[in-house]
Each structure stands twice: as structure tokens, then as C-alpha cells.
Chain A
């Protein structure tokens, strides 16, 4: 365990060195995250121009959901995307061999191989949204609410990561899937609004098939102090099951790997 922790630190340091080398990226990423945050916020401003509530969500409450969306997007683009995107390329070129030869768990190695640390700017944007939203509501989140949302954040990250592992696993069977990652990103876009806003089939899909509700709506509800305990429990159990499934699929897929060239 301590070996993996040390390994993680080494990988993080390498990414940090890379990030420091491209310092100007911090500003560019900052500007980009400002715009993306605007794409998430502007629709809300327009929707709530002429009404106070949208399906029991006030504007400030809906902004908490958007805040979680921006937050998770930062985790996705800073921590999950960079490493796993490289795997697709490695599978195609056959250079995954070098990873598999190393005396450590392959899933761990590929997942931690690269971080985009400047995406931290998105976390700042998320924090600003939270502060603004709770300032508008004129209250603070309860301690229990913060704890519950932190737990859900872990669950959400696990689900997001597992979805990615499943996507990448497809690369072992299909040759070119690097743009599947964009597809995934665009589906995740729907997580910026409370899941209850969607109706019918769409809502079912976003709750159970691609659990977007778990990722942003539930943490927001927890922070607002109105998430039922059963939802919390089911989310945690579901996330654990999903992670186990992704792990199983990864092990199966890696067995399927036949070094492309070399």
C-alpha cells in the first residue's frame, strides 16, 4: 500500500514538473474554464428570469448542482482524462507493453500516468459558484450535509472513473476509439442541471443507465440538506458495485491484449 502511495507521489511530481514548465497554460486554462463556467451558468440565468422555481429548484439551488458539475469536470479533465486518453494510443501502437512489464498494477499505472494540474482553476470556479449560491440563499450548509456530499463526491468520482475504464477497455477490442472519449464528455454535459428537470426516458437513462443524477444532483441535494438517507446508501453501494465491475472488465480486457506491433 505504501509502495503505491510512493508511486503516486512520483507520478504526481512528474506531472507537476510538466505543469510548471508550461506555466502559461494556467492562464489559458483559467480563461477557458471561465467560459465553460459561463456556459453552465448563463442558461440558468435565462431560465430563472421569469420564474422563481423550476421543478422545486430555486436558482441558487440549481447553481449548487452546476457547481458540482464544474467540480467533477475538473476532476475528470485534470485527473482522469489525461492518463486514460494515453492508453487508447498505447493500445493502438502496442507500447502498452512497457506498462504491463512494470512490476505494479497496470490499472494503477495507466490511471496515474498523467495529471493536468492546471485544471485546478476549475475547482476555483466551482468554489466561487458554491459561495455565490449559498450567499444568495443566506445560509450555510450543515456539517452533516457537507460530510454526506463529500462521501457522494468519492462515489461520483469512482463512477466517473469506472465509466472511463469501461470506455478504454473497449479500445482493446475496437481499434479506434479515441473520439469515444468526446462522446462521453458530451453526455456528461447533461449533468449540469438537476436530474429531475429531465422527463420520461431521458430521466430514467440519466438516473440508472448513466448515473448522472448520482454525480451532481445527489451531492447537491446532500449539500442542501435534503437528500434522503436511502439515496445516499444506494449511491454508495451502487458506486462500489460499479467500480468492481469496471475492475473485472479491465482484467478481462487486458488478458485480451495482443501487442499490436513491435
Chain B
């Protein structure tokens, strides 16, 4: 289908996705609540910092306030840059429901993306109390000033969402080759938890690991946007990292395209 048609279909797709998110709001609330890991980490780290602030190798001092800002931002970024296309694709490939999508005059990958984006308004609504709480806890002075920083943050957030979504699509496409790729997704998620800065700010990693993490994709899903918003990273200094992030977006995009094409020719559409 042409680009023009896709663009024209977009508002409808988003509206449908939004209605779905509203209809299953209780379910989504539980999903959001089940990502409480940042709060658990916050409890641990603030108790650690309560005894004595943690000193990073870079010389930055992590006190209770820094950890509070960091982990509350982490929670919000995780909510915004989230995707579940891999599970959906696995389900649809297994049941054959994917054939329904193939019949529509719209690229299925675009449809998956639209569904994930359409849930954002509801997710933002859930995040608002957390944002209010963090403002109350750390004070409004922690809110970054300067358009450049916000611009860099938005670019990093968009990149983070794209990496998450495209990785989901790539792994979802694998289900066309190997029946079920849910386990692969589990491995990806486990690595993501360790290396993204979700559990520990990346600055606190030991030096050698910190350098390795800069080359891995996960750091760009959480760490980079969070660091930009919580002023741990200067916008100008973050430019190389943003470059790597968007290189990952490009690479994963090409890979997704390739896997989708190769995989689809193997799709047998059982059931459906």
C-alpha cells in the first residue's frame, strides 16, 4: 500500500488502538503496576545512600535525591518506551491470526506500531501521579531547563521507543522461523534489565563494563533518556551516544524488514 494510504489510515488506527486501551484499562493498570521494579530499586538505593552517599568513578555523588529523581524518571521512561509486539506476533503466528492482518491493505508492522503508540495516552495518564510525586519529592528545581536538553531528551525517547519496538518486531519475526520466540524475548528482557540502567544507574557500573554497555543496544532503551532528563548527561556531550542510538534504530529497522520478508514466505497460516 502506498505511503499516502498509510498516512490516511493512521488516525483511524490510532483511534481504534486508543479505544482498545480504554476498554482494557484495568488490565493495563495491572501491567503498569507490575513494572514496579524501579520503586523496589529506589527503596534499596535510597537506603544505601541514607547511610552514606554512593560515589561514582566519575566523581558524581549519588545521594537520596539523585536516586529518587533517577528511578522515578526510569519508571516513566519505561512506560513511554514500551512495546509488546513480540508477544502479539508470536500469538498471531501460532494461531494463524496473522493471515487476517495480511489481507488488509496496510503493512502489518505499521499496524503493530500504531497499536503500541495508541496506548500511550493511557500510559501517560498513569504516569502523571508518579511525575507529580517526583516533583514533590525532589522539588521543581530538578526539572531541566533549556530547550536543547528537552530536544535531546525527546530525540532519545523517540529513539528508545523505536529500538524497543523494532527489537520486538525482529524477535516476533523469529517466531516465523522457530515456532515460538517467546524464550528469545525473555533472554532479551533479562539482558535489558541488567544493562539498560533499569536496576542501577550506568554511571555506577565498574569502568570496563560501562564502556562495554555503550556498545550494546539496551543502554539506549532506558539509560540515555533518563540521564538526559535527570541532568546527568549534558546534551552536547550526549551527541555521540545519540548517534549510536539512532544507528541502532537504523540497523534494527533494516534487520526487521529483512526478517519480515524472509519469514513471511515461510508462514503457513494454520488455523486463523
A190 to B36: give the CA distance in the assembly, Å.
10
Interface size class of A (residues with CB under 8 A): 20 to 34
Stretch at the interface among B105-113, B122-130, B143-151, B191-199: B191-199
Chain A residue with the shortest CB-CB distance to B57: A49
Q: Mark B173-195, 1 if CB is under 8 A from A, else 0.
A: 00000000001001100110110
Q: Do A42 and B186 have beta carbons less than 8 Å apart? A: no
Contact of A189 among B27, B40, B50, B52 (CB under 8 A): B40
Chain A residue with the shortest CB-CB distance to B31: A179
Give every chain B residue within 8 A of A38 (Cβ-Cβ). 190, 194
Q: Do A51 and B52 have beta carbons less than 8 Å apart? A: yes
Contact of B48 among A32, A45, A54, A202 (CB under 8 A): A54
A35 to B30: give the CA distance in the assembly, Å.
25
A5 to B68: give the CA distance in the assembly, Å.
51
Verify if B95 is at the interface (C-beta below 8 Å from A).
no
Q: Do A28 and B183 have beta carbons less than 8 Å apart? A: yes
Give every chain B residue within 8 A of A139 (Cβ-Cβ). none
Between-chain CB contacts (< 8 Å), 24 pairs:
A28-B187, A29-B183, A32-B190, A39-B190, A43-B41, A43-B44, A43-B199, A43-B200, A46-B54, A46-B204, A47-B44, A47-B48, A47-B54, A50-B54, A51-B51, A54-B48, A182-B34, A186-B37, A186-B40, A187-B36, A189-B36, A190-B43, A197-B44, A197-B47
Give every chain A residue within 8 A of B206 (Cβ-Cβ). 45-46, 49
Verify if A176 is at the interface (C-beta below 8 Å from B).
yes
Q: Within residues 1 to 51 of chain B, which ones have a CB less than 8 A from any CB in chain A?
A: 26-27, 30-31, 33-37, 40-41, 43-44, 47-48, 50-51
Verify if A143 is at the interface (C-beta below 8 Å from B).
no
Q: Within residues 70 to 103 of chain A, which ones have a CB less than 8 A from any CB in chain B?
A: none
Contact of A202 among B30, B43, B50, B193 (CB under 8 A): B43
Q: Do A185 and B187 have beta carbons less than 8 Å apart? A: no
A224 to B215: give the CA distance in the assembly, Å.
41
Chain A residue with the shortest CB-CB distance to B47: A197
Most buried by B among A35, A38, A185, A197: A35
Q: Do B183 and A198 have beta carbons less than 8 Å apart? A: no
Interface of A is mostly: helix
A25 to B186: give the CA distance in the assembly, Å.
12
Chain B residue with the shortest CB-CB distance to A196: B47
Q: Do A42 and B37 have beta carbons less than 8 Å apart? A: no
A190 to B41: give the CA distance in the assembly, Å.
8
Q: Mark A25-59, 1 if CB is under 8 A from B, else 0.
A: 10011011001101100110111011100110000
Give every chain B residue within 8 A of A35 (Cβ-Cβ). 187, 190-191, 193-194
- Taking the closest CB of chain A, its distance from the CB of B219, in whole angstroms, is 14
Q: Do A183 and B33 have beta carbons less than 8 Å apart? A: yes
Contact of A183 among B30, B52, B204 (CB under 8 A): B30
Give every chain B residue within 8 A of A197 (Cβ-Cβ). 43-44, 47-48
Q: Do B37 and A189 have beta carbons less than 8 Å apart? A: yes
Q: Do A179 and B34 have beta carbons less than 8 Å apart? A: yes
Interface size of B by Cβ–Cβ distance < 8 Å?
A: 32
Q: Within residues 191 to 221 of chain B, which ones have a CB less than 8 A from any CB in chain A?
A: 191, 193-194, 199-200, 204-206
Give every chain B residue within 8 A of A202 (Cβ-Cβ). 43
Give every chain B residue within 8 A of A179 (Cβ-Cβ). 27, 30-31, 34
Q: Within residues 160 to 185 of chain A, which ones have a CB less than 8 A from any CB in chain B?
A: 176, 179-180, 182-183, 185
Q: Do A32 and B36 have beta carbons less than 8 Å apart? A: no
Give every chain B residue within 8 A of A54 (Cβ-Cβ). 47-48, 51
- Taking the closest CB of chain A, its distance from the CB of B74, in whole angstroms, is 14
- Taking the closest CB of chain A, its distance from the CB of B153, in whole angstroms, is 25
Verify if B55 is at the interface (C-beta below 8 Å from A).
yes
Contact of A55 among B33, B47, B199 (CB under 8 A): B47
Contacts A42-B194, A47-B48, A182-B34: A31 and B187 contacting too (C-beta < 8 A)? yes
A182 to B52: give the CA distance in the assembly, Å.
34
Give every chain B residue within 8 A of A193 (Cβ-Cβ). 44
Give every chain A residue within 8 A of B193 (Cβ-Cβ). 35, 39
- Taking the closest CB of chain B, its distance from the CB of A204, in whole angstroms, is 12
Beyond known contacts A186-B34, A189-B40, A202-B43: 9 more, CB 8 A cutoff: A32-B190, A35-B193, A46-B204, A179-B30, A179-B31, A182-B34, A183-B30, A183-B34, A186-B35
What are the nearest 7 A-B pairs in CB distance?
A: A35-B190, A183-B34, A182-B34, A190-B40, A186-B34, A28-B183, A179-B30
Verify if A199 is at the interface (C-beta below 8 Å from B).
yes
- Taking the closest CB of chain A, its distance from the CB of B75, in whole angstroms, is 12
Q: Do B194 and A39 have beta carbons less than 8 Å apart? A: yes
Q: Do B183 and A32 have beta carbons less than 8 Å apart? A: yes
Contact of B47 among A31, A32, A198 (CB under 8 A): A198
Give every chain B residue within 8 A of A183 (Cβ-Cβ). 30, 33-34
A28 to B178: give the CA distance in the assembly, Å.
14
